[in-house]
Amino acid sequence: MSVRVTEPDRSGPLFEDDRLKLGLFGFNITAAGALSRSKDRHEISWQQNVDLVRQAEAAGFEAAIPISRWRGFEGETNPWGQSFESYTWASGLAALTERISIFATSHALTMSPLLAAKQIATADHISGGRMGLNVVAGWFEKELRMFTAKSLGHDERYDYLDEWLEVVLRLWERNGVDYAGRHVQIQDGYLEPKPLQNPRPPIMNAAFSPRGHETAAKYADIAFVGAHDPHSAQKQVAEIRKMAASHGRTVQVWAATSVICAETDEAAAALVERYRGPDADMPAVENAVDWTMGAQMTPDLREVIKAGLASTMGGYPLIGSPETIADEIGRMADAGIDGICQTFMNYEAGLPLFVSEILPLLEKKRLRPARAAAAGEGGQA
């Protein structure tokens, strides 16, 4: 039943050269940087989200990528409990930007592939051909139970996602789509207008397990991995690229990062200790572990994961002075990472600091192109 995956439209900023790509990630939800009750934590408003994506675009970022979330982790302050729905969010930002690629994030189990394909096609027209689809197989059972979603094991969720993606890809390219899979069925599927990007928009997929890597290698154009140091990044990059080559494909590999920048390494480390200590919403952290992956952990690993969720959301830690962070990003690039998706505890402070202090260092390292003097200095929101 599988379809040969065509290459995406490569005319946009995601594919225009070999530089390290930059994405602003997760700023459509509260407390995106960590499960925290900190006064520094991210709180959302629509105008703030517009201001942030415009700053990122002015600085030359290639992508804005939301998290798809339908409920929070409760606890004291319900981090992640407020969120903007990603398809409508992406369409709104697409209409208010000019160059940056805007992604919608979709849990395959919560949405018809026909509806997803249609919404992305519509938003692609709104954006003038800059939309992308970030798909996830789903993992938050308490959230999925709010939908009519099937209850599936880990690998079965990826089997479902494979079929779901095959339907989406076929609908973007032709009509009269018939598909009878184990999980997904469609008869005489029709979609018009097709996306502006020809033959299709790019697909991103978070790939944090060997089974997830298989799906990313077969269908995604950007595989979004969870690495914590250059060695783990290099290992995952090699694995995904080898799998993709077996399907006659090439993929970009991006990493999720958590940026905590201060004037010195010591000051940044002190922030991390505060976030994972007195500022942590520990009941929410415990819920996040128990409701998602707690049964799979040893006690020692559980404590490590809890500390990460409370301070950096478990992303690749970019912690320290601007120089330290720029050097670590260089090591990520040396390990084969093609792009980084960035979260901040406080985006309104963190993004301008990244643009003014870290981005020039990346330009000096030739990881990013030099910007025009007037571009990229986006001020406070």
Average pLDDT, the chain: 91
Q: Which domains does the chain have, with CATH numbers?
A: 13-364 (3.20.20.30)
Given a cut of 50, whether residue 198 has pLDDT beyond it is yes
- Collapsing DSSP to helix, strand or coil, 271 comes out as helix
pLDDT digits (tens, 9 = 90+) for 240-279: 999 999 999 999 999 999 999 999 999 999 999 999 999 9
Give 2's pLDDT tier (boundaries 50, 70, 90).
Answer: low
Residue-level pLDDT at 12 = 87
Name the nearest CA neighbour of 40 among 265, 309, 310, 349: 349
Q: What is the mean pLDDT of residues 310-325?
A: 94
d(CA 32, CA 28): 8
Kindly report the backbone phi and psi dihedral angles of residue 257, in degrees, each rounded to the nearest multiple of 5, phi listed first.
Answer: -125, 155
pLDDT over 80 at 309, yes or no: yes
CA distance 176 to 170: 9
pLDDT at 196 over 60: yes
* Cis-peptide, bond into residue 8, ω within 30° of zero: no
Total Cβ atoms within 10 A of residue 372:
7
| Among 140-154, 229-243, 339-353, the least confident range | 140-154
- Give the 3-state secondary structure of residue 59: coil
> Can you give the pLDDT at residue 209?
82
Tally of CA atoms within 13 A in the half-sphere of 71 that contains its CB: 16
Q: How many helices (H) and strands (E) does the chain have?
A: 13, 11
Check pLDDT > 50 for residue 378.
no
Tens digit of each residue's pLDDT (9 = 90 or more) over 14-58: 998 888 999 999 999 999 999 999 999 999 999 999 999 999 999
Instruction: Give residues with Cβ within 8 angstroms of 4, minimum separation 6.
Output: none
Query: What are the phi and psi torsion angles at 40 (to 5°)?
Result: -85, -10
- Phi then psi for residue 35, to 5 deg, are -80, 85
Instruction: Please state, in angstroms and rounded to a whole number, the distance separating the CA atoms of residues 156 and 144.
Output: 15
What pLDDT shows up at residue 208?
78
Q: How confident is the model at residue 151 (pLDDT cuts 50, 70, 90)?
A: confident
Q: How confident is the model at residue 147 (pLDDT cuts 50, 70, 90)?
A: confident
Instruction: Report residue 293's pLDDT band, with 50, 70 and 90 as the boundaries.
Output: low
Q: Which is higher by pLDDT, 379 or 6? A: 6
Q: How far apart are CA 189 and CA 198, in angstroms?
A: 19
